[in-house]
Amino acid sequence: MLSKNFNLSNTIISRYLQKNIIVFLVSIFFIISFIVFGNQFVSIVQKSVEHGIPFKELMPIIGFNMLRDLPIIFSLSLFLAIIISISQMYKNSEAIVINSFGIGDKGLIYYIQPIVILSFVLVFVLTIYVVPWAKQQKSNAEDETVNASEFSFITEGKFESFKNGEIVFYASESSSINKAGQQNLEEIFIYVSNKVSPVIVLASTGIKYTDSTSQSIYLRLKDGVRYEGLPGEINKNILDFDLYDLEIVSGEVQKTLSNFSAIEEKTSIDLLTDGGLPANAELQWRISQSLSILILSFIGVLLGKTSPRTGKGINLLAGIVVFMIYNNGLLVAKNSIERGDLTPFIGLWSIHIIVILLVLIFYQFRQGKVLYFIDKITTLIKPEKSNV
């Protein structure tokens, strides 16, 4: 009978703890999402106003950004929800009563397992399937509306500066970008600043296009005049031209950006067949986000353990610091693999192993077993001399 009551109390406690975690998870997730996606929304609106892009064409990008950032926001929200829920139980002395029954950190970890396992599956599906798809769709949307260069949308009748003020551009009329990535312009004025002498170009019409071979972005100007030097200078050069190509963005920059985005947009199966360093780094990063759920849940239980005299928010602040260090460590390892400084065999797994070892040491220290092992080792090294 006592055993049945004890098992029933375990079920009630587990449901109570899981309910609190879910409530805090939803609340924290909503707050973080509101801040992150609110900033992105303001940025999109600002881009729409500045470049005259219809806002409805940019709305899908916000949705794809939400899917892209969903795993890391969810992981942080769950981690903080576990810390707050466990901490609340200690503040209300509920965990102390539970501990008196012999239920410690292991028991609390056992109680939150259903939520942790479901979260692991959810993040795994998001990172392996949904996020790459969202990045690919976002890239397609940007190709249709934003384009990769600084001259994506040239506002007609307005002076605009590009390349940190090195180029000042004006066009009285401009068309929308077609499927080939071209944009027709009329009555063009360009001022180019360089170390030797400034260059002024006037043209009646022009086309912005991307070279298929070099991937460089050019402005092809027609029927114009090129002035080099300031008025009154002896070495001033004037050139009339029928066609004049001006490079806006180097092809090397374009290739770097496209290769980076192409890896992130690949499916996980394609990454497995690729086998290159960037592919290995991206695949390990996707798997690591779901693995971190399991490790962070254990850390959350340990950080949630507190006393009524402990300052409010200390363990929560510590949790945020731990999450940032953990996540940044994974990013550093990912970048090291991409550069070839770290072998994929060690890769991001080394970060997980280091964190697990540190957590186990911290757990043993909390249980008072570290000092016990130190005393045992000291005794073995320096055995007591027996009296004859």
Contact by Cβ (8 Å): 106, 25: no
Q: What is the pLDDT along the chain (388 residues), one digit of tens a residue?
A: 444 434 444 567 778 888 999 999 999 999 998 888 888 777 766 665 555 455 566 677 777 878 888 999 999 999 999 999 888 887 777 766 776 666 677 778 888 888 999 999 999 999 999 888 888 887 776 665 544 444 545 666 777 776 666 778 888 776 655 555 566 778 888 888 776 678 888 888 888 777 767 667 777 888 888 888 766 666 577 788 888 887 766 555 444 444 446 778 788 888 888 778 888 888 999 999 999 999 999 999 888 877 656 556 788 888 899 999 999 999 999 989 888 888 888 989 999 999 999 988 887 776 665 555 556 556 666 655 444 4
Enumerate residues 6+ apart whose C-beta is below 8 A from 271.
263, 279, 280, 282, 283
Quote the pLDDT of residue 347: 86
The residue among 303, 355, 308, 305 whose CA lies nearest residue 80 is: 303
Contacts of range 191-198, beta carbons closer than 8 Å, 24 or more positions apart: 191/167, 192/166, 192/167, 192/246, 193/165, 193/166, 193/167, 194/166, 197/228, 197/229, 197/230, 197/233, 197/235, 198/228, 198/229, 198/230
Which residue reads 């000092």 in tokens? 371
Distance CA 251, CA 296 (A): 42
Quote the pLDDT of residue 165: 67
0.75 cut: is pTM over it? no
Quote the pLDDT of residue 386: 47
Torsion of CA 174, 175, 176, 181, to 10 degrees: -90
Beta strands of the chain (E only): which ranges?
160-162, 167-174, 183-192, 199-210, 217-228, 237-249
The two structure tokens encoding residue 4: 């049945």
Distance CA 377, CA 368 (A): 15
Distance CA 349, CA 166 (A): 45
Contact by Cβ (8 Å): 132, 268: yes
